[in-house]
Amino acid sequence: MRIGIADTTFARYDMAKDAIDEIKKHALGVKIVRYTVPGVKDLPVACKKLITEQECDIVMAFGMPGKEAIDKTCAHEASTGIIQAQLMTDTHIIEVFVHEDEAKNDVELAEVMERRARAHARNAVTLMLRPEELTRDAGTGRRQGRDDAGPIKL
Amino acid sequence: MRIGIADTTFARYDMAKDAIDEIKKHALGVKIVRYTVPGVKDLPVACKKLITEQECDIVMAFGMPGKEAIDKTCAHEASTGIIQAQLMTDTHIIEVFVHEDEAKNDVELAEVMERRARAHARNAVTLMLRPEELTRDAGTGRRQGRDDAGPIKL
Amino acid sequence: MRIGIADTTFARYDMAKDAIDEIKKHALGVKIVRYTVPGVKDLPVACKKLITEQECDIVMAFGMPGKEAIDKTCAHEASTGIIQAQLMTDTHIIEVFVHEDEAKNDVELAEVMERRARAHARNAVTLMLRPEELTRDAGTGRRQGRDDAGPIKL
Amino acid sequence: MRIGIADTTFARYDMAKDAIDEIKKHALGVKIVRYTVPGVKDLPVACKKLITEQECDIVMAFGMPGKEAIDKTCAHEASTGIIQAQLMTDTHIIEVFVHEDEAKNDVELAEVMERRARAHARNAVTLMLRPEELTRDAGTGRRQGRDDAGPIKL
Amino acid sequence: MRIGIADTTFARYDMAKDAIDEIKKHALGVKIVRYTVPGVKDLPVACKKLITEQECDIVMAFGMPGKEAIDKTCAHEASTGIIQAQLMTDTHIIEVFVHEDEAKNDVELAEVMERRARAHARNAVTLMLRPEELTRDAGTGRRQGRDDAGPIKL
């Protein structure tokens, strides 16, 4: 099995490193292929190439969109392309974006980034190896990078 | 006949369970294939895989977008991808999204979610088995999860 | 020749009925294939299926988006998909949407819906049977559902 | 060589007529194929059909989006589709849209429309016959319909 | 190896010239193919043609969107198309857009444009010749046209 890891030089924290560490803990013997591009708008084709040229079974796409309106637009364009790349290949690409304005300061931002990267690395491994397991958590308010919201209590 | 059910661990209520219950009441002998992913942006490819790999004749996609602006953007991206997946496969995917801010509180939210899930499960069964029946209700202001708006009275 | 008619149970007025009546007046012997779906986001694939599975030469897509922001987003997603379906099939799909907030009250809304449905039914027939005729009206400010704006007077 | 001209009955001025006049001045012997549709959202497939069915080497798409928010959304959807049609055919479609609110009054609006139609007709001819010539003007602030902005002076 | 350079006559500064100068410094013997179009919405198909017809291994797309709301929309449409062109060809297109309102005055604007063009030219060369090198800078807050933001310091 092969997991593709696409990330950017634009991001201010190396989420891919945390994700790779987490993958190694949960999926022994899985081959990891890493591909770094300048920014989030370069991610869709990078992810597609990891699937079509590097034969990855699943891909993770890491990005840190900035705080400005233009950054939000870039993130939206990247996300649209990432969904399109999945539809063209019938392969999951787990998007792991942390917006720079999600946290109050740099330390909290790095914390969110590490937690989200690790949580989604576990999701990617599960989706690749034991997809039926996620149904146990269906509708239970899971979050990545923050505490779970939890299910609605009736 | 096979119905695909795609849903998320992000949602705070298990709409798929209600939909499956409703499908079983209205479509005896139909095979249900369930597929759970982390969030709504993972739904388009999950739905497409249910069609291309699991040979589903129709798919339902359940999601609960959050209240923030970023959540609205995610929902829009997911919806765009779900429409694209349908066009690539000539197969219906009934999108069943309930936005977290559609209701005043958690209890009302769960109620909307159950009603919408069940109403669209009936729509999915009708579209799959007796599509011509929906024309009887064309232009009559049907709603799912809330009371019908009804037709304009002249 | 075959005209596809796709519409929804969500709309509060039956535009398709008016359009069918108008088509029968202007295009003798044309076969009409009707397909009703729950909402506007189900229209793109319904239209595509009318083209690829029912062999329609042209399709009309009727929808009544609601007044809320979420309804505007749904209409935008549906329109994007309808354009995509046309490009995938090289076939016209005449979108006939009337937004619920285009009129002051229900009676005016129904009036706009009937006029727009009939005017676009005539457009669809012309596009299918005598496309060169529309060039006579190029740049003359035609409207559907309201009075024509007319050409700029110099 | 064949140039496709797609335009609408919605526009309040006949830009295609000006463009055809300009093309005839600059490209002797070029065949012009005209195709008129109701509104800008019908343009993407009309342009694609001019390429795939009428074998046009380049297409011009004329539209006059109205002043309201809904008109801006329609223009955006049309533009997205026009770009998609180009990518599906590897053929240029020069979009010539003039928004109704670009000018203070109808007379100025018609003037902008004529100038933009003629300037883009020259662009289309150059792109089709001598594409390398445009590089002479690269980065020089050319505008169509208004005076050139000119290059940044250092 | 071949690098495609697509740019516009609309931009008020010739970024492509700077990029070509930079490419020649860092990639001896690389063939450069330049293609100039009127505006940013013409860039997606120009880039695609550089890949499919001119056999470029990577493409750079230079644009200077204006300050108005309509210009932002055009830039968004162009970016969406550029991402789509990449997915259709499994080839990188490095988008180098500088918005006219990114700088306080023309002199600063030209400075940003030159710096961004040169920095992305180096990125393009690295992506084409030694893609694994970018991983050394993953998550370090690199910027083009401005000073680097740098990594988050913990």
As a whole number, the mean pLDDT across chain B is 97
pLDDT tens-digit readout, E110-120:
999 999 999 99
Tell me, yes or no, if the pTM score tops 0.95. Answer: yes
Q: What is the pLDDT of residues E71-123, one digit of tens each?
A: 999 999 999 999 999 999 999 999 999 999 999 999 999 999 999 999 999 99
pLDDT per residue rounded down to tens, chain A (154 residues): 999 999 999 999 999 999 999 999 999 999 999 999 999 999 999 999 999 999 999 999 999 999 999 999 999 999 999 999 999 999 999 999 999 999 999 999 999 999 999 999 999 999 999 999 999 999 999 999 999 999 998 8
Q: Could you write out the DSSP letters of every residue in D118-150?
A: HHHHHHHHHHHH-GGGGGGGTTS---SSS----
B95 close contact with C: CB closer than 8 A = yes
Cβ–Cβ of C90/D38 closer than 8 Å? no
pLDDT greater than 90 at residue B153: no
Q: How far is C134 from chain D (nearest CA, A)?
A: 6
Which candidate in A5, A68, A77, A113 is best for mutational testing of the E interface (most E CBs within 10 A)? A77
A38 touches chain E (CB under 8 A): yes
Distance CA E119, CA C125 (A): 55
Rama region for A105: left / alpha / beta (φ>0; ψ in -120 to 50; rest): beta
Query: A29: distance to nearest CA of chain B, Å?
Result: 24
CA atoms of E126 and E135, how far apart (whole Å): 11
Report the run of H or E that residue B63 belongs to, with start and end: strand B58-63
Q: Rounded to a whole number, what is the distance in Å from the CA of E101 to chain D's nearest CA?
A: 14
pLDDT of residue D153: 85
Closest CA relative to residue D2, chosen from D44, D59, D52: D59
ipTM here? 0.97
Provide the pLDDT for residue C73.
98
Span D48-93, pLDDT tens digits: 999 999 999 999 999 999 999 999 999 999 999 999 999 999 999 9
- Residue D112 with chain C: CB contacts under 8 Å: none
Supply the angle between the helices E43-52 and E69-89 in degrees, to the nearest 10.
20
Residue D5: pLDDT band (50, 70, 90) is: very high
- Asked whether the beta carbons of residue A83 and residue B45 sit closer than 8 angstroms, the reply is yes
Chain A residue with the nearest C-alpha to that of E126: A37
Q: CB–CB of D134 and E37 under 8 A?
A: yes
Instruction: Give the tokens for residue A131.
Output: 């997809």
- Judged by CB atoms closer than 8 Å, whether chains meet at E48 and D135 is answered as no
Say if residue B154's pLDDT is above 90: no
D1 contact E CB<8A: no
Judge whether B28 is closer than 8 Å to chain A, CB to CB: no
pLDDT above 90 (res C154): no
Contact C38 B94 (CB under 8 A): yes
Helix (H) / strand (E) containing B70: helix B69-89
Mean pLDDT of E129-153: 97
Predicted confidence band of residue D154 (pLDDT cuts 50, 70, 90):
confident
Say if the Cβ atoms of A143 and B10 lie within 8 Å. Answer: yes
| Nearest residue of chain A to residue E128 (CA atoms) | A37
